[in-house]
A and B are shown apart, each in its own frame.
Chain A
Amino acid sequence: MFARRRYNMLRALLDAVGMDPERVRLTFISASEGAQFAQTVKEFVEEIRALGPNPLKVREVREA
């Protein structure tokens, strides 16, 4: 429940700054649902790939 609130906060945060909140996902899966877990992750990885590189990844090196 705490995670759910933080998840909603995080999505609002990403959108406010200008990043795509679709990069973050919360799903409730039990430990015994191995197949569903694997499937969910596979699908999500594909969705992330389609969204392209994370804007935070682009790093500029400043000259001193």
Chain B
Amino acid sequence: MKKYWKSRNEQEAALPGGGVIQAVARAILEAGAAEGVFGYSSDGDDVRPAFLTDAQSVTALTVPGRPAYGLARLVRDYLRGRRVAIFGLTCDIRAVVELAKRNSLDPDRVLTVGLNCDAMPQAHPRPNCLRCEYPRAFMADLEISVGDRACAAEVHSERGEAVLQAAGLAEAPPFALPGGWEETAAARAGEFTLRQADRKERLAYWFSQFDKCIKCYGCRNACPLCYCKDCYLDAGRGLVPGGQLAPARLFHLTRLAHVADSCLNCGQCEAACPMEIPLARLYHMLHKELSGIFGYRPGVDSAPPPLISFDESEKAKTESIFAPRR
């Protein structure tokens, strides 16, 4: 159930959101619920990821206007094994859920606090943000919508409840969310039109995009779901011929085949691409179809990823369930 809060500390309460995020982070550190808080901190005009271990430093915590970094992947790469409290956007939290399924991080050691996008004015959203279906991080231990002077918070686990209690917040009057989410609905609908184009057009479009690629591996490195220690796309694996630019189109089709069943639409691939290839658009487009076929919502469902599992009832079916589209 959603309730409204602000910090009891006067100085903290003057911060955006009534200092709730800071109070919660401080409580986590003081209670020893985590070794450190991993979130976004403001760096002048921009945000950067920060791992804060000192209760005094939590004032630096901020809510980014867009998913600037894939926090879950950074936890896997740099903070594995440590007890961490992530203060991330919904896409960060969903990535944590998926990485935990792939044994890339231990969910018992990662406490999740979700910063909802539903409270944020979407001034310069990324294209993938426009397509996002998860403005609220209901899969986190604790989800927070940050308002001007207070926050709305909802707990989803015992851990989240304990953390909220420990923060010792004061109740605040309810406030209306800015409503930026609804305003972008028209732009969001426009993001889904490519699928209707005919096959030849689609092929020409995607091949011309792939031909811009300079094989920097930025997409592969940034993707939270690319967790293989030995990547099939590396030089010397024999799949994608080396010494060729643009790389064989198989590079992108292969990554697509490996990741599409669980694509989170976090947009890190597209953000990382120096050639501005709309990768998230393709991956998310395919993923939406697969999500319908497999009935799987990545980052939300606790079921294992579809491509490494099957249902017993499928043994009775030996024909393809996919009807080709012309």
Contact = CB atoms under 8 A, between A and B. Distances in A.
Interface of A: 1-2, 4-13, 15-22, 26, 28, 55-56, 60, 62
Interface string B233-269: 0000000000001101110010011001100000000
Contacts of B257: 6, 9-10, 13
Interface residues of B, number: 41
15 contacts: A1-B315, A2-B307, A5-B306, A8-B320, A10-B257, A12-B289, A13-B256, A15-B325, A16-B282, A17-B203, A17-B253, A17-B256, A18-B200, A26-B320, A56-B250
Given A2-B307, A2-B310, A55-B207, A16 B285 contact: yes
Choose among A4, A12, A62 the residue with the greatest number of B CB atoms under 10 Å from its CB: A12
Contacts, number: 85
B300 interface: no
A9 B308 CA distance: 12
A53 B265 CA distance: 33
- Tell me the interface secondary structure of chain A in the complex: helix
Interface in B286-326: 286, 289-290, 293-294, 306-308, 310, 314-315, 317-318, 320-322, 324-325
Interface of B: 195, 199-207, 211, 245-246, 248-250, 253, 256-257, 260-261, 282, 285-286, 289-290, 293-294, 306-308, 310, 314-315, 317-318, 320-322, 324-325
B324 A11 contact: yes
Given A2-B310, A5-B310, A22-B324, A12 B253 contact: no
Contact of B203 (A1, A11, A12, A18): A18
